[in-house]
Each structure stands twice: as C-alpha cells, then as structure tokens.
C-alpha cells in the first residue's frame, strides 16, 4: 500500500494499518491482501470479479473489513461480493470505497453486495464512501446492496458518503422473513455540482418483520439529491421511512417516500422533511462565540453524524 492508499483507508475505515480479524483489501482493481480466520472464509469468485465471504454459524464478535481503494485515474472497477452469514452468528462487516483521482479521467467503483443472513443471524454493516483528488477527473460510485433476511435475522446498516463523489446511484433492496428486522441509517453530503440518488426498496414479507429506513442528508452548492424509499408491507409488519434533509445555497433535494400495505395488519409510516438550517440554531451557536460559518459546519456535522 502506498501513502495515498493509506489515507484512503483511514478515511473509509478509520484504520491506520491492516485491520484486526478477517480482511480483504482491494487496491486498483486487484487483491492487495487478505486474511481469513477459523470462522470467516474469503474466497475469490471464479466466474466474475469479486469475493464470497462465508461466516460460519454461531460466529460471535468477529469482524470483517473489505475496503476498496482506487488511486489510479481512469479505472472502472466492478465487483460482486456475496456475504453468507451463518445461523445465529453475530458479526460486524466494514466495507467502503475510497477514490483518489489525481488525473483527468473518470474513476468509478460499482459494487454489488449481496447479504444472505441465515436464521437469527445478526449483522452490523458499515459502509463509507469517500472521494478526493486534485485532478479534473470525476469520481463515480454506484453501490447496489441486496439484503435477504431469514427468520429472526437482524441487520443494521450504516452508510455514509460525506465527500468527493461526483455522482452516485445507490440502490438497496431488502426482503425480510418472519420476525426479521432491518435498520438503515444513511448519511449523505453533496456539494459543488454533485448528484446523488438513493433508492431503497424493502419488502416486509414475514410475519412481525420490521424495517426502519432513515436518511439524513445535506445538499450544498448546486448539488442535487433524490431520495426514493419504498416499503411494501405484505404481512403483519411494521415499517418506517424517514428522510430529513438540509438544503443550502442553490442545491435541490427531492424526497419520494412510498409505502404500500398489502395486509390489513401492516403498519407503515413515512416522514420527509426538507429545509434550510434554522436561523435560531445559527444564532444560538453564534452567541457561544462561533462565526456564522463555524456554526453552520457544527450543525451540518452533527446532523450527519
């Protein structure tokens, strides 16, 4: 790993060096390093780019890091990663993609992540996207996430895209079995001419399944954001989707929540709010000695945290 890749790793995973536990580091479209444990196997796919991550049933308190680092300009990286979380396992997976584009060409990473959680498995999945670069080349990221939760499985997904991605289309689809639950927290900040679209589609198929999809975003400059969230309640279930956005400058934000109940015992709620930073919030922080700009930063940082 070179110095640029090390900074990217720090930005997306908070890591200064190789992580603890199992990991698979992909740099510039190739495997950089990998470590497996007794309970966690990582296998390179034979038919297409990507890996299978197989976690044995009952594995507890282990983690897997799978960062992707791009530091060459003009690289279009595409990976298919499949995660199999065994029955009753309880693990954390940290993924993320960091792009440093110092050149004139477009860099892109498209990741298709599929999660298969067996009965009563628990997963915390954290994904961070970050782009930087001094060149004119654009950074594109189009992550697709497919989630299948078996009976009683629980997944918590935290995704964030805080800086430097010029264009993103993130698609997440999930199907939930009986008593399965899914919690998604997304945070997005766009600036300049960036555009971000997020598209959630959750099917609550099992009895007593429940999902909570929460998005917090800040749009600055002339950036544009579109938030689509669709929850289908096909059984006795509970679903909640929430989009909360701060709009600044000349940005544009749309929120399109859609909830569909196909069962009389489905209980679904959507909430969406878009607005600028409240003047009284700025004033309060200014009375504590912050400049208007500093106050704005604190409010935005807190909101996206």
Partner 1 sequence: MLELKNISFSADGEEKKEILKDITLSIDESFVAITGPNGGGKSTLAKLVAGIYTPTTGQILYNGVDITNMSITDRARLGVSFAFQQPVRFKGITVKDLITIAAGKKIGVSEACVYLSEVGLCAREYINREINASLSGGELKRIEIATILARGTKLSIFDEPEAGIDLWSFNNLIAVFENMRKTLGGSIIIISHQERILNIAERIIVLNGGSVERDGSRDEILPYILKSGGAACSTLTEKAVK
The contact set with partner 1 (CB under 8 A) reads 216, 244, 278, 280-281, 283-292, 298-299, 301-305
Minimum CB separation of residue 120 from partner 1 in Å reads 30
Minimum CB separation of residue 6 from partner 1 in Å reads 27
Comparing CB distances to partner 1, the nearer of 24 and 159 is 159
Distances in Å between the Cα of 214 and the Cα atoms of 241, 260, 301 are 6, 17, 17
Comparing CB distances to partner 1, the nearer of 269 and 278 is 278
Minimum CB separation of residue 240 from partner 1 in Å reads 16
Minimum CB separation of residue 219 from partner 1 in Å reads 16
Token look-up 């060409």 returns: 105
Report d(CA 247, CA 36) in Å as an integer.
44
The answer to whether residues 169 and 140 touch, using CB atoms and an 8 Å cutoff, is no
Minimum CB separation of residue 168 from partner 1 in Å reads 22
Closest CA to 26 of 91, 82, 78, 92: 78
The answer to whether residues 200 and 241 touch, using CB atoms and an 8 Å cutoff, is yes
Comparing CB distances to partner 1, the nearer of 169 and 304 is 304
Comparing CB distances to partner 1, the nearer of 16 and 305 is 305
Comparing CB distances to partner 1, the nearer of 127 and 244 is 244
State the CB neighbour count (10 A cutoff) for residue 170. Answer: 21
């Amino acid at each position: 790993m070179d110095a640029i890749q090390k900074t990217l790793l720090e930005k997306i995973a908070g890591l200064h060096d190789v992580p603890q536990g199992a990991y698979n580091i992909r740099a510039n479209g190739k495997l950089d390093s990998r470590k497996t444990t007794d309970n966690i196997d990582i296998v390179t796919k034979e038919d297409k780019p990507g890996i299978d991550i197989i976690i044995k049933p009952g594995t507890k308190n282990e983690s897997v890091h799978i960062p992707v680092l791009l530091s060459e300009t003009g690289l279009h990286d595409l990976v298919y990663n499949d995660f199999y979380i065994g029955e009753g396992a309880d693990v954390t997976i940290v993924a993320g993609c960091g792009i440093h584009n110092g050149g004139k060409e477009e860099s892109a990473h498209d990741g298709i992540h599929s999660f298969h959680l067996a009965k009563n498995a628990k997963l915390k999945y954290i994904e961070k996207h970050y782009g930087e670069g001094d060149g004119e080349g654009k950074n594109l990221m189009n992550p697709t996430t497919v989630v299948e939760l078996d009976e009683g499985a629980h997944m918590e997904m935290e995704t964030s895209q805080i800086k430097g991605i010029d264009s993103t289309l993130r698609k997440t689809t999930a199907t939930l079995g009986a008593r399965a639950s899914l919690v998604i927290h997304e945070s997005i900040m766009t600036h300049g001419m960036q555009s971000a679209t997020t598209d959630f589609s959750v099917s609550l198929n099992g009895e007593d399944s429940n999902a909570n999809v929460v998005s917090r975003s800040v749009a600055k400059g002339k950036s544009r954001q579109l938030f689509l969230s669709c929850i289908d309640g096909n059984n006795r279930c509970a679903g909640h989707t929430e989009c909360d956005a701060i709009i600044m400058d000349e940005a544009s934000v749309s929120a399109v929540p859609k909830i569909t109940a196909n069962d009389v015992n489905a209980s679904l709620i959507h909430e969406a709010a878009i607005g600028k930073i409240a003047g009284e919030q700025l004033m309060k922080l200014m009375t504590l000695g912050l400049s208007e700009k500093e106050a704005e930063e604190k409010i935005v940082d807190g909101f996206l945290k």
